[in-house]
Every structure is written in structure tokens, then in C-alpha cells.
Structure 1
């Protein structure tokens, strides 16, 4: 999975709006608060509005506001709103890829990567990220040890 600047900026913008009480927040203020190029934000915010994650109100008191509650907006929702699929193999969905010869097992691996990534991003909400300033991480029955190994909890 590739996390593009567009993905990153979209999640940052949504978090900034959420941290500001849900909005309204002006585009120029978002750019300053998060250090996002102001010229890049309008198209991202338009995508988020089209996906019904944001609403907008014009005028001096206007800006962008969350269209749903914090716990109803996942990082997966945000990333799909600005780019479509969360994971792809050479630009194609993992389940459409086939290989021959020694690589015939690869589609299963790519599909697992897609499933794990989707599960993680879909289960992590704005509320999770704002709760303590850290991502909730995968919601599984596994722990990661200090040396990076994965250990299953009983």
C-alpha cells in the first residue's frame, strides 16, 4: 500500500476539523494549522464533501464541518474518498491478479495485504486518533514485542 501526500493531507485535514470541534474551519486555516499547501486543499476537501464526510457553508462564518460524528468516520472512508481503492497491484484490485508458474500463490498474499489494510483503516476512526494522539493500531488478538516480533494473546 502506498500512502500518498493526498491521503496524508486528507486525514490531516479531517483530524484538524475534528479537533476544532467539528467545524466550520476555513481552507486557509486548515492549510496553516497542518502545514498543507493551500493550493492542494480545495480538491481534497471537495472529494471529502462529495463522499459526504464533510459539509460546507459559504461566507465569512463558513468553512468545512464534519458531516458525521467522529466515531462514524474511519481513516478508510477518508482514503477511499480521495483515491478509491485502498490497495492495488499495478493499479488493479488484488482479487483480479493472476500469475503462472512459481508465483501462483501471490494473489492470495496480495488479497491478505488488502484485507488487513482495509480492516485496520476501517476500524480506526477520527475519535480513535484524537483520543490520545496515537493510532489505535490493528484490533487483533496479537501484541508486538520490543524486538518487533508478533505474539498471539491467549
Structure 2
């Protein structure tokens, strides 16, 4: 799986929102400055997150963007799906929709297993956990293995 720039930026913006002690709206300009996210790109990302019901915008002098839900109820998977679509796709199709012939049918099982593995991490980590820097043990255990940090 390749994490897109769009997903990375979306998560970084949401971590900034969730980390605000007073939960007041934050401008897109401030989010962009704090996380080095280009303004035009960030506006498009925020629009995707708004359509998904993850953020809301507030107009006016004290306006800006804020989370529409509690940060502990929004998972990394929710964010990736909102800005990029399904966690795993095979030439644009969900793994369960892909068909193969004969000996290649086994590939579908690999794609389904890969999606399950991604869900095991992405659905377990909330925006609040990211903002707090307090990841679930299931995630930190996976990074404790030195091999996890090595490129292959």
C-alpha cells in the first residue's frame, strides 16, 4: 500500500485540530502553516473531509475548521477512505469484486488478507490517539520489531 500525500496531509491537519485544547476552529491558513501543507491542496482535502462528515467549517471572524465528531471516534481508516477511497483496490475494484481464472484465483485471497491487515492497524488508531501520541499496543508492538523499520 502507498499512503498518498493527500491522506498524510489530511491526517496531519486533523491531528492539529484534535490537539487544540479549546477545540476552537482553526483557519486553513494556520493548519497549512503549522504542517507545511500547500493552501490549495489543503482546501480540497478539507472539502473531502467535510463531505465525509469528519470536519465542519464555521464562518465569521472566529471561523475556521473543527472536527465534526469526537476525535476518538474518527479512525485513520475513516480519513483515508474519505480522501482516497478504499484501503485496498485492485485496478480500481474492491478486492472482493475482482475475478480471476483458474490458478490465479488465489490472488484474491492475498488482496483480502492485505486489506484485513491494514484494517487491523488503521481502524484501531483514532485521531485523538495520534494527537495524544498514545498509540494502541497492537500498533506499538508492530513497530517494536527491528525488522519493521528495515526497507525490503
TM more than 0.5: yes
Q: Distance in 2 between matches of 1:122 and 1:76?
A: 5
Could you tell me how far 1:34 is from its partner in structure 2?
A: 0.3
Q: Which residue of 2 aligns with 1:67?
A: 68
Q: Which residue of 2 aligns with 1:7?
A: 7
Could you tell me how far 1:33 is from its partner in structure 2?
A: 0.3
Could you tell me how far 1:130 is from its partner in structure 2?
A: 2.1
Q: Which residue of 2 aligns with 1:97?
A: 98
Question: Going by fraction, where is helix more abundant, 1 or 2?
Answer: 2
Matched residues, number? 147
TM (norm. structure 1) is 0.84
Q: Which runs of 5+ in 2 are unaligned?
A: none
Q: CA RMSD in A?
A: 2.3
Q: Which runs of 5+ in 1 are unaligned?
A: 149-154
Q: Is the 8 A contact 1:23 1:66 kept in 2?
A: no
Higher relative contact order (CA 8 A, sep 6+): 2
TM (norm. structure 2) is 0.85
Q: Residue 56 of structure 2 aligns to a residue in which SS?
A: strand
